[in-house]
Structure 1
Amino acid sequence: MSASTAFLVAATGIALFSVMDAVMKGLVLALGVYNVMLWRSMGNVALGAIAWRVVGMRRPSRRALLLHLVRGAVTCAMALLFFWGLARVPMAQAIALSYIAPILALVLAAWWLGERVSTRTIGAMVAASLGILTIFAGQARAVLGPEAFEGALAVLASAVLYAVNLILTRLQSLAARPAETACVQSLVILVLLAAAAPWLAAVPPASAILPLAGAALLAFASMMLLSWAYAHGEAGYLAMTEYTSFIYAVMLGYFVFGEIVSAYTLVGAAVIVSACIVAARRRDIAARTVEQAA
């Protein structure tokens, strides 16, 4: 399987995830982050169980189960922080702040998985970093609400966890099939959230059922695509697809929430997209397995 195919599949997964972000932001503003995560997780478990049944259920290996548990816990904390912050800052700013994750993932992939980082990828990473700094300069001039600082901190904390999550995705995808990953990981998240249900859970209004179902479906489809992509490509290389989410954040933020981006943000986005194109042209993918990296 070619590296470019894995890159394209990962980019498609990011596109679906970006649409889900917009749906989730609206839901969190209406219902609160806990209840949105709780009810969406129920849909994720149901969809994952159906897919797992279709491809054939089998008992997860001990290694796969451990990875499901660890990644489920990391993903739960990561998502709660991100969506809480997303409700308090513009989508473009939240996505820009989250770009620390792919940069950290490049370093973690080289250290943890033994993956080789080419000169081309390093150059793309530096260019993307300059784009991010440009975005930060523009966002510093924006007038935000009183909770924007806390929201930005939450997104940054989520980004650190997301970098770890990207590496766990690579390890997990080599130990389990996407359907198993989608079902078991979603179940882990649901169990963790359900622990607080007696105090925090509330039945959503009927008007929220369809958006919750849509968010669950988008999250499920994105997870399946990303799991497949990370099983066929290097984590550090595929992490570059994360940068494409900024374009979606700009469009969705404007058309759905009326959020205006500055010229600084647009220039930064152009630099980041250019870096993604450079990274996507890379051909020297090292064929490494977890066993070789261990």
Structure 2
Amino acid sequence: MNEKPVISVPSVLLPILAAMLGLGLFSVMDGVMKAASIAVGAYAAMCWRGLAGAAMMFPLWLWRGQGWPAPAVLKVHVLRGVVASVMAVLFFYGLVRLPLAEGIALSFIAPLIALYLAALLLGEKVRPAAIGGSVLALLGVAVIAGGKFDGPADAEAVKGLIATLVSAVLYAWNLVLQRQQALLARPEEVAFFQALVTFLFLGLGAWWFAPFPSSEVWSLVLVSAALSAVSIMLMSWAYGQAEAQVLVPLEYTAFIWAAIVGWIAFAEPVTMPMLMGVSLIVAGCLYATRGGAAAS
């Protein structure tokens, strides 16, 4: 007689909670980076945040005693660092021209793309619950977009829209690389090399595009770097414990945090379509993650 294996609920719940906390901190970081990008530009803000983040994580990486990564692992670090750098510059370029919550909402095409990339690149089986939950959440994004983009758009808003959508496609690839990276390295190594690669890659154009920040902007950059490092470690640990398709739908909860941060920091209104869309997003996340946990 075959018995079904018993699944420990905490083993499924803890990665989900870690991912949600990481996403919440990321949303706060997005707000800080929007302020820094308005001041010095998205390229400069990302470049100097990379330097600050690498300096913060270097002692922790040394203390953990992992040593220099193997060539195969280093290749993944570099690839994700480059993809994340381009993705982030485009995203913050868009956020300067769009409200924070709208930028996050537009980026939500990424988890849908990531589900299929995870199946293609990682060999994960895409479960019906993951697809159904993501589609339900995408309907929530459509409700929000319908309430937000119901009037004429200016040229800067169109630029922001295009940049955010391209960033979302790269973010989908970044999510899959995040899963690969989490299986190869510890969270502090992931955070250190992502920051380092970002600075080295964007540093190539720093002479032209990244003027040295003032003390006020440096304070924003340092806070952003700290939030980013903690968020990356939380997300890396979560993705090392659970499949990408279980955690990817949780990306939609970032909209809730973005709406709160945008309202507090930038006086961006919270509308009824936004609340209706958030309800669909949360429902989709719960359906997808519970379905994934039951199938594990």
TM-score range, shorter chain: over 0.9
**Hey, what does 2:199 align to over in structure 1?**
190
> 2: distance between equivalents of 1:134 and 1:91?
17
> Cα RMSD (Å) of the superposition?
1.5
AA of the residue aligned to 2:90: L
Deviation for aligned residue 1:105? 0.9
**Hey, what does 1:218 align to over in structure 2?**
227
**Hey, what does 1:292 align to over in structure 2?**
none
TM-score, length-scaled by structure 2: 0.92
Deviations 1:145-192 (A, max 9, x none): 430111011000000000000000111111111111111222111111
AA of the residue aligned to 2:120: W
Matches within 5 A, 1:128-147: 128-142=137-151, 145-147=154-156
Are the equivalent residues in 2 in contact too, given 1:105–1:163 (CA < 8 A)? yes
AA of the residue aligned to 2:98: V
TM-score, length-scaled by structure 1: 0.93
**Hey, what does 1:178 align to over in structure 2?**
187
> Gaps spanning 5+ residues in structure 1: where?
287-294
- SS where residue 256 of structure 1 aligns? helix
In structure 2, relative to structure 1, the CA distance for the partners of 1:18 and 1:34 (3 Å cut) is same
**Hey, what does 2:173 align to over in structure 1?**
164
1:151 paired to 2:160: yes
1:34 paired to 2:43: yes
> 2: distance between equivalents of 1:208 and 1:77?
21
Match among 6, 14, 17 for residue 5 of structure 1: 14
> Gaps spanning 5+ residues in structure 2: where?
1-9
Task: Count residues in correspondence.
Answer: 286
AA of the residue aligned to 2:128: T
1:112 paired to 2:121: yes
AA of the residue aligned to 1:278: Y
Are the equivalent residues in 1 in contact too, given 2:130–2:289 (CA < 8 A)? no
**Hey, what does 1:258 align to over in structure 2?**
267
AA of the residue aligned to 2:113: L
Deviation for aligned residue 1:111? 2.1
Are the equivalent residues in 2 in contact too, given 1:23–1:211 (CA < 8 A)? yes
Deviations 1:124-162 (A, max 9, x none): 122112111111211221565430111011000000000
Are the equivalent residues in 2 in contact too, given 1:3–1:285 (CA < 8 A)? no
> 2: distance between equivalents of 1:142 and 1:13?
34
AA of the residue aligned to 2:93: W
Deviation for aligned residue 1:261? 3.5
Identity over aligned residues, as a percent?
A: 42
